[in-house]
Amino acid sequence: MIIVIKEDQLNKIDEIKDRFEDKHEVFVHNNRIAVQGITRDDLLFEEVNAAEQIIEDVPKSVQGSRLFHPEDTIIRTAHSVIGGDNFTMMAGPCSVEGADHIKLMAKVAKAGGATVLRGGAYKPRTSPYSFQGLGLDGLKFLRNAADEFGMDVITEVMDDEHVDLVGQYTDIFQIGARNMQNFSLLKAVGKTKIPVMLKRGMSATIDDILNASEYIAAGGNHNIMIAERGIRTFDNKYTRNTLDVGAVPVLQKLTHYTVIIDPSHAAGHTEFVTPEALAGVAAGACGLIVEIHNDPAHAFSDGPQALKPDQYLEMAQKALAVRKVVTTPVNVKSEVKL
Ligand code: PEP
Ligand code: MN
């Protein structure tokens, strides 16, 4: 249950907290107090009187809910402001392939307006025999490249034992689709203050990802982004996954966390990446994370979906144009007489 306290009764927040926190989870945000597992009948008369509103139908993922936290979460890193009215471009190769290569990719990414450089050093591959990433060397190459070009780093952390190490090199943790419900990993990143981009599992419902994100928030880390990267439906003959564009406004209604679109893993083929990116921006996403490569045929991973530099630059310009349309208010002067 969430109790919205009247502005002149804010002292009641501590009283309610003290009364329930021994036996219930209690969270406070401004004049809102969420108490898990109680009903209106558990409140005292004066507590009900102090309430501007009592919301009884509350999701389990309460800290991520707009009912508890109506304002957008804004994440500030060294080079980016993510969420709200801002638009964030993140780009880079699927995998970090070497020191010089990632620098080249950083230069391209930055030219398209990216403030965040992506690249996997630890790769979650479907086969154990596929390239698994450069590991620690990859983290170092990525960090150096980002620093040289004045960018932030986003890179995947695959298990809880690596959180400390990856955290020394990255500005944003990526949790991959395959790990969306790796609860020990979610708890481990939840104990840090480093922003987290949680990718939707390929078979995860919207509530599944919201509940997964709550594990991070429950640990005290509220710097969360949610990435839609395509889900499994009945047809993957022409695209790798199905981009759930409709999830963008739904998530934005339900949660205050920033929603990012990953068109690369959804499309799976270069030619479909730009249209899917633009659809995601048109649906209201606050950012994109895209895979780029100068020589996709020889990429260490995910070459078939990489945008070449020129394709990326064109996509980035179009994405900004679409974003402008989405965020510019229009005055509708209706000629229609009703
Ligand atoms: C990736 O970003 O390269 C990746 C493996 O993404 P996902 O977890 O969405 O498949
Ligand atoms: Mn990839």
Q: Which domains does the chain have, with CATH numbers?
A: 2-55 (no CATH), 75-327 (3.20.20.70)
The long-range contacts involving 134-141, CB below 8 angstroms and separated by at least 24 positions, are 134/95, 134/96, 134/97, 134/98, 136/165, 138/95, 138/96, 139/96, 139/165, 139/166, 139/168, 139/169, 139/170, 140/169, 141/96, 141/98, 141/99, 141/102
Mutate to test the pocket of ligand 1, among 153, 155, 178, 198 (most ligand atoms within 8 A of CB): 178
Given a cut of 90, whether residue 190 has pLDDT beyond it is yes
Q: Furthest-apart CA pair in the chain: how many Å?
A: 69
Type of residue numbered 195: P
The closest residue, in CA terms, to atom 1 on ligand 1 is: 94
Whole-model pTM: value is 0.97
CA of 266 to the centre of ligand 2 (A): 10
CA atoms within 13 A on the CB side of 285: 31
pLDDT given for residue 333 in this prediction: 83
Pocket lining for ligand 1, CB < 6 angstroms: 94, 120, 124, 176-178, 199, 229, 262, 265
Q: Which tokens belong to 52?
A: 């501007």
Q: Specify the ligand 1 atom closest to the Cα of 124.
A: 5
Burial 206-237 (b: 16+ CB within 10 A, else e): beebbbbbbbbbbeebbbbbbbbbbbeeeeee
CA of 120 to the centre of ligand 2 (A): 8
CA of 38 to the centre of ligand 1 (A): 39
Helix ranges restricted to H, 51-171: 99-111, 136-148, 163-167
Q: Specify the ligand 1 atom closest to the Cα of 262.
A: 9
| pLDDT tens sequence across 252-273 | 999 999 999 999 999 999 999 9
Residue 106 backbone phi and psi in degrees, to 5: -65, -40
CA of 26 to the centre of ligand 1 (A): 35
The closest residue, in CA terms, to atom 6 on ligand 1 is: 176
Given a cut of 90, whether residue 287 has pLDDT beyond it is yes
| pLDDT tens sequence across 110-132 | 999 999 999 999 998 989 999 99
Per-residue DSSP letter, 140: H
